[in-house]
Amino acid sequence: MEVAFRPEFDEERERLSFCFTCEDCAHFDDGTGECLHGFPNAMHRLARYVRDPRPATIVFCKDFDLA
């Protein structure tokens, strides 16, 4: 699912400890940085959401599974 990025998202993500990126997913290999399902994951990695400029959209992975 892809939604428009809003400036408020940064504050909301911090306040709610919102987990949605690969780094918090049970299917993430933190040794290689790859998805264990072989999905392309650059759009789901935390780095995309913390560097400037922020992305135009937030892309949620349908297979995210909280680790």
d(CA 34, CA 38): 7
58 binds ligand SF4 (CB under 6 A): no
Considering only residues 22-51, where is the footprint of ligand SF4 by CB under 6 A? Answer: 22, 25, 27-28, 35, 37, 39, 41, 44
Smallest distance, Å, CB 41 to ligand SF4? 4
> Cα dihedral angle (57, 63, 32, 38), rounded to 10 degrees?
-100
Which residues form the interface with ligand SF4 (CB under 6 A)? 22, 25, 27-28, 35, 37, 39, 41, 44, 61, 63-64
